[in-house]
Structure 1
Amino acid sequence: MTLNDSTVFVELAPFRIEPRFVERVWGWKDLHPWYDRVAEKEPIGEVWLTGDDCCAATGPYAGKTLRSIFRERPEAMLGGGGASSSDSPLLIKVLFAREKLSVQVHPDDRLAQKYGEPRGKTECWYALASEPGAQVALGLKPGVTMDEIKAGIEGGTLEQSLNLLTVRAGDMMYVDAGTVHAIWPGSVLLETQQNCDLTYRMYDYGRGRELHIEKSLEATRLRTAAGKVLPKTLEDRTVLVDSPYFSVERIPVEVSRSSKSLQRANQDKPGLAYLFAAAGSGRLSSPSFGTVELPPCGIIAVPASSPLFSIQDMGELDLILITARTPGTVA
């Protein structure tokens, strides 16, 4: 993941990213205890951890946006194999839903590019917390037809065609592009997705926001790979999901762990990764860059060219490792 390869890259040290709080009509007013934030006006539904307009909080690029860092240092951030593009491949968020989100669908790469966007939107949701009875709508019930979807949109009965899943803390749900879905209240979700904010709304409970009926129907696939993903326990980690675009893993840290040990045995090249503290706090340390603190619900970008470091558990750290992938490189 983050091995020193000075023959190829000029090193770029890991850096913490400032979250960006995004208003949504379906969000929360008070984000405590997750974040020290209370909405001043409209509720906050999304905390963007790696958005293009999020800023580095530490290191030589402190104060600069991720967009500018990726454009200035694409190879250092992404590695030689990922630097054909000069933008961030992943968007990571924490979602706080007080009301139902719209019933929606995201385009795949082909459809997004048809309409002038660089990529589509495959994503996953990891449940950081949930209340009893929390649910999400993920995919369509078996046998549902496109005609039934159209009728459900027109008649306001689309929910009857949706496949409902109960959500418990620790669940991982995969949402590949083309899946009709909706997030309902009752859970706090860590969302990892392709860096694309294209959402085609099918139905929005009369909230008056724009709908995208024709594009949503064009994007919809009746059968997808969406659903709950069973964790895969390995000797040194738990793999929560492996997709063509990203992997998400829980990494145990017993006092301290080296960055070299974060790389999988079959991963031959360093690449971009992120470290997220789902609970507790940590600290990255290295003779090359000193220390970088990882607070609860904070995130650190680990560039492909990062020097070696150690990560320490500063108290009840639940560490999530999110690795960007190039399609076709799933381990």
Structure 2
Amino acid sequence: MQPFLIKPAYHAAIWGGQRMREALGMTVPFEKTGECWAVSAHPAGVGEVASGPMAGKKLDELFREHPEVLGGGGEFPILAKILDASDVLSVQVHPDDEYAARVEHTLGKREAWLIIDAPPGAELILGVKPGTDRETFRRAIEENRLEAYLLRRKVAPGDVLMIPPGTVHAIGRGILLYEIQQASDVVYRVYDWGRLENGKPRELHVDKALDVIDFDARPPEAAGVVLDEAGCQRRVAIAGEAFALEVLEISGRYRREGDSFFAFTCLGGEGHLVSGEERLLLEAGDSVFIPAGAGVWGLEGHLWGALVYLPDRAGLRAELMAKGASSEELGKVCGLEGGA
């Protein structure tokens, strides 16, 4: 099967806006567009094939009927989004696989963020202050004092951060980001800034959140390893057990192959995905799926974006070492040595 473009699913949100249109030139369907599910077979927002002979087919149907495009059987394991935080998101946390399977009968949710655009001084909430424990956290929620216990981190365009399960987090106002995550929609909200939706506060999930919060979680930035390859500056930022994330800056012709499927989302510029005789135009906001076993494929033009896939971590480590990456540099690839 040839690579194909994807028609995404969109979601409105109380915190959404028009940043995808303003910054990326995307056509968005809602006044407060919060999320573009750019690459998704999740039932809450299934994408469609948007090019080639299977155009119009839902991704979940395609993957069930043609499991070979994923490299085997099973559900499509990841979900890629673009998020517009025109207002701050709720303070929330996600469970790991064990808790999610036992309580929610689904996958847990580990995720990573690539900052596309952010105003000067933009901040995320990522973790809680040292010394905060379960009871202190609960009392702070009950007494509406939680903000005093949250750790804030300044971010800028190009930053990549891993958000392991159990990490208290929130995306700050004005940030536009790309998110790659496990294919799960489990969110435990603990604080929502006193907002009302349709005249009512949104539901909180304090007890479940307290079950899963890691009060010591303070994830570092995934600085990654930067490789200057033919036609591309390739930044390998994350290589965890659930997904790998690379940031590609294309200036010419770049060629790639591998055993995994790949999904690339263009976040700026313009170019083409090339595979055999296939040439697919890519503009900001477009995503393309490259099936497992597609052989050599390439990106051409002047564009940048996020590439995600399922990594062979041992093989990737060997590749990076062969290309001159030091042990210190390898340590900056989140998850490469295990645990992410």
TM-score category by the smaller chain?
0.7 to 0.9
Query: Is 1:37–2:23 an aligned residue pair?
Result: no
Match for residue 259 of structure 1 among 256, 261, 284: 256
Give the aligned partner of residue 267 of structure 2.
278
Which residue type is aligned with residue 154 of structure 1? E
Cα displacement string for residues 244-276 of structure 1 (whole angstroms, at most 9, x for unaligned residues): 21111123434212233xx4xxxxxx0121112
CA change 1:113–1:325 in 2 (3 A) is farther
- Distance in 2, Cα, partners of 1:250 & 1:257: 13
Query: Is 1:118–2:106 an aligned residue pair?
Result: yes
Give the aligned partner of residue 52 of structure 2.
59
> What does 1:115-194 correspond to in 2, within 5 Å?
115-194=103-182
The farther-off stretch of 224-233 and 98-107 is 224-233
Match for residue 304 of structure 1 among 284, 292, 296: 292
Which residue type is aligned with residue 304 of structure 1? A
Q: Is the 8 A contact 1:153 1:202 kept in 2?
A: yes
Q: Secondary structure at the match of 1:234?
A: strand
Query: Is 1:77–2:69 an aligned residue pair?
Result: yes
Q: Runs of 4+ in structure 1 displaced over 4 angstroms?
A: 325-331
CA change 1:271–1:37 in 2 (3 A) is same
Q: Is the 8 A contact 1:252 1:319 kept in 2?
A: yes
Q: Is the 8 A contact 1:133 1:186 kept in 2?
A: no
Match for residue 321 of structure 1 among 296, 303, 307: 307
- Distance in 2, Cα, partners of 1:97 & 1:204: 14
- Distance in 2, Cα, partners of 1:328 & 1:26: 40
Query: Is 1:95–2:116 an aligned residue pair?
Result: no
Give the aligned partner of residue 221 of structure 2.
228
Which residue type is aligned with residue 102 of structure 1? S
Q: Secondary structure at the match of 1:249?
A: strand
Which residue type is aligned with residue 274 of structure 1? A
Q: Is the 8 A contact 2:127 2:150 kept in 1?
A: yes
Q: Is the 8 A contact 1:282 1:294 kept in 2?
A: yes
Q: Secondary structure at the match of 1:278?
A: strand
Q: Secondary structure at the match of 1:318?
A: strand
For structure 2, list consecutive stretches of 5 or more residues without a partner in the other structure.
316-334
- Distance in 2, Cα, partners of 1:247 & 1:225: 20
Cα displacement string for residues 11-68 of structure 1 (whole angstroms, at most 9, x for unaligned residues): x21111112221000100463232433555x511111101221111012321111111
CA change 1:55–1:212 in 2 (3 A) is same
Cα RMSD after superposing both structures:
2.0
For structure 1, list consecutive stretches of 5 or more residues without a partner in the other structure.
1-11, 264-269
- Distance in 1, Cα, partners of 2:141 & 2:117: 31
Q: Is the 8 A contact 2:10 2:29 kept in 1?
A: no
Deviation at 1:150, TM superposition (A): 0.1
CA change 1:326–1:73 in 2 (3 A) is farther
Give the aligned partner of residue 239 of structure 1.
236
- Distance in 1, Cα, partners of 2:169 & 2:88: 11
Query: Is 1:25–2:14 an aligned residue pair?
Result: yes
Cα displacement string for residues 141-174 of structure 1 (whole angstroms, at most 9, x for unaligned residues): 1111111110111111112111100010111111
Q: Is the 8 A contact 1:176 1:225 kept in 2?
A: no
CA change 1:117–1:325 in 2 (3 A) is farther
Q: Secondary structure at the match of 2:138?
A: helix
- Distance in 1, Cα, partners of 2:313 & 2:97: 11
- Distance in 1, Cα, partners of 2:218 & 2:2: 36
Q: Is the 8 A contact 2:263 2:287 kept in 1?
A: yes
Give the aligned partner of residue 13 of structure 1.
2
Give the aligned partner of residue 9 of structure 1.
none
CA change 1:296–1:36 in 2 (3 A) is closer
Match for residue 188 of structure 2 among 191, 196, 200: 200
Q: Secondary structure at the match of 2:34?
A: strand
